């Protein structure tokens, strides 16, 4: 692609085409394909805004407690594996890229490219969840899940947790500070859990899309569904970019 910003009309037919000859995917209450595409695109954006406000409540809680219990948050953050976190960020960014490529393939009507991109996105999404599962199971092993026999020993006595201790040489936390690491992990599980839930929903839809794309859908010029799903997928990516910065990288030095 020498020129990466080609401007082509989105619809397969000129605007203002007669009512009788509209394509099958044009719903009855719309006047034109553009109107329909615009509408669903804008609706998707509004939906993403509600998603943003949904996470907004969690971010607010996070910022308050981080300010209150900074030391506990640092200690809690040291429990997260920055390698896994970085890897997951890379995986998610790549999946965002393949998704964007998928949208481009759909727009330029490349069926096999579209299917390939969707499958790659699907695999990367699963990879992200796989890594997340590894991380979660580490937390479960150490009893760092709030509400389920939450265990403070990694914070009261860091040496009992040699892997982490080797890296950060954390000082033992007093009990009253160590107790607040539970809030950190509550927020960690809430935020990443909500994020993972969105991923799972996204992967489900991706599976459906792969199935349909193999049957030849989305390359007729009517790419609204792919585009909107792309928006959703990128939004999840953005959320993760912030989660990574806030949860993993509090204080690593």
Partner 1 sequence: MSTNTIVSLPDQETARIPKKNFLTKENGLLSWLLTRDHKRIAILYLITTTFFFIIGGAAAALIRLELLTPTGDMVSSDTYNKLFSIHGIIMVFFFLVPIAPGVLGNFLIPLMIGAKDVALPRINLLSWYLFVIGGCFELYMMIFGGVDTGWTFTTPLSTHYVNSHVIGAAMGIFIAGFSSILTGINFIVTIHKMRAPGMTWFRLPLFIWSYYATSIIFVLATPVIAISMVLIMLERVIGIGLFDPTKGGDPLLFQHLFWFYSHPAVYVMILPGMGIISEVISNFSRKRVFGYTAVAFSSVAIAVFSFFVWAHHMFIMGISTYSALLFSLFSMLVAIPSAIKVFNWSATLYKGSITFDTPMLYAFGFIGLFTIGGCTGVMLATLGMDIHVTETYFIVAHFHYVMVGGMVSAFMAGLHFWWPKMTGRMYPESLGRLAAVILFIGFNLTFFPQFILGYLGMPRRYHFYPPEFQALNVLSTSGASILAIGYLLPALYLIWSLRHGAIAGNNPWQATGLEWQTQSPPLTENFTEIPIMDHEAYDYAWLERQSRDNRREEAPSAE
Partner 2 sequence: MSEQNGHAHTIVGPGVYVAILFALLAGTVLTVWASFVDLGFWNPIIALAIATTKATLVLLYFMHVKYSTKLTKLAIAGGVFLFLTLVSMTLADYISRAWGSW
Partner 3 sequence: MNHISPVIWQFPVKWMTNFPLFPPEASTIAPQMDALLFFMVLVSLIGLTVVVLLIISFSILYNKKRHPVAEQIEGSILLEATWTIIPLGLFLVMFVWGAVIYFRVFTPPANAMNIYVVGKQWMWKIEHPGGQHEINALHVPAGRAVQLTLISQDVFHSFSIPAFRVKREAIPGRYTTVWFEATTPGTYHLFCTQYCGTNHSQMIGDVVVQTPEDYRKWLSNSTSGVSLAQDGERLFASLSCSACHNARPNARGPNLANVYGSRLTLSNGQTITADEAYLRQSILNPSQHITQGYAPIMPTYQGQISEEGVIALIEFIKNLNSDYRIQQTLNTTDLPPESEGKTPPAAQAPAAKAHATQGRVKK
Name which of 193, 191, 212, 204 is nearest 233 in CA terms. 204
Tokens 């939906």, residue located = 47
Name which of 35, 33, 22, 20 is nearest 221 in CA terms. 33
Q: Which is nearer to partner 3, 134 or 175 (CB)?
A: 175
Which residue in 9, 15, 46, 90 binds partner 1 (CB under 8 A)?
46
Least separation in angstroms between residue 214's CB and partner 3 is 57
The yes or no reply on residue 250 touching partner 3 (CB under 8 A) is no
Number of residues counted as binding partner 3 (CB under 8 A): 7
Q: Which of partner 2, partner 3, partner 1, none has residue 54 at its interface (CB below 5 to 8 Å by kind)?
A: partner 1
Which residue in 81, 89, 186, 192 binds partner 2 (CB under 8 A)?
89
Mark residue 109 as left, alpha or beta (left: phi above 0; alpha: psi -120 to 50; beta: remaining). left
Q: Which is nearer to partner 2, 168 or 189 (CB)?
A: 168
Which residue in 12, 27, 56, 133 binds partner 2 (CB under 8 A)?
56
The yes or no reply on residue 224 touching partner 1 (CB under 8 A) is no
State which of positions 190-249 bind partner 2 (CB under 8 A): 230-231, 234-235, 237-238, 241-242, 244-246, 248-249
Find the length of the chain. 253
Residues 248 and 85: beta-carbon distance below 8 Å? yes
Give the up-direction half-sphere exposure of residue 91: CA atoms within 13 A in the CB hemisphere.
19
Name which of 193, 186, 142, 190 is nearest 164 in CA terms. 142
Q: Which is nearer to partner 1, 88 or 224 (CB)?
A: 224
Of the candidate spans 4-12, 131-139, 152-160, 175-183, the one that interacts with partner 2 by CB under 8 A turns out to be 4-12
Tokens 């082509």, residue located = 8
Q: Which is nearer to partner 2, 93 or 175 (CB)?
A: 93
Distances (CA, A) of 221 to 32, 53, 76: 14, 33, 49
Between 169 and 198, how does the x/- string for binding to partner 3 read (CB under 8 A)? ----xxxxx-x-------------------
Query: Which residues in 121-154 are b (16+ Cβ under 10 Å) and which e?
Result: bbebbbbbbebbeebbeebeeeebbbeeeeeeeb
State which of positions 168-207 bind partner 1 (CB under 8 A): 179-180, 182-183, 186-187, 189-190
Name which of 94, 110, 85 is nearest 244 in CA terms. 85
The yes or no reply on residue 94 touching partner 2 (CB under 8 A) is yes
State which of positions 59-78 bind partner 1 (CB under 8 A): 60-61, 64-65, 68-69
- Chain residues binding partner 3 by CB under 8 A are 71, 173-177, 179
């Amino acid at each position: 692609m020498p020129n990466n910003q080609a401007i082509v009309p989105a619809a397969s037919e000129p605007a203002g085409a007669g009512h009788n000859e509209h394509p099958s995917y044009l719903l009855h209450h719309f006047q034109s394909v553009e109107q329909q595409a615009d509408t669903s695109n804008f609706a998707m954006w509004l939906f993403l805004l509600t998603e943003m406000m949904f996470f907004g409540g969690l971010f607010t809680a996070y910022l308050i407690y981080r300010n209150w219990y900074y030391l506990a948050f640092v200690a809690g953050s040291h429990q997260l594996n920055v390698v896994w976190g970085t890897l997951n960020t890379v995986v998610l960014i790549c999946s965002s890229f393949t998704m964007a490529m998928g949208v481009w393939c759909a727009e330029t009507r490349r069926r096999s490219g579209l299917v390939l991109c969707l499958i790659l996105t699907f695999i990367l999404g699963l990879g992200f969840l796989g890594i997340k599962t590894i991380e979660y199971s580490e937390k479960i092993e150490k009893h760092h899940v709030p509400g389920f026999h939450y265990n403070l020993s990694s914070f009261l006595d860091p040496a009992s947790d040699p892997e982490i201790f080797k890296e950060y040489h954390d000082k033992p936390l007093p009990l009253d500070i160590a107790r607040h690491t539970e809030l950190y992990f509550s927020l960690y599980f809430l935020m990443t859990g909500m994020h993972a839930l969105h991923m799972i929903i996204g992967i489900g839809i991706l599976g459906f899309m792969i199935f349909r794309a193999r049957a030849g859908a989305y390359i007729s010029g009517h790419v609204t569904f792919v585009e909107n799903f792309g928006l959703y997928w990128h939004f999840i990516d953005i959320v993760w970019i912030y989660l990574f910065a806030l949860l993993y990288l509090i204080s690593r030095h």
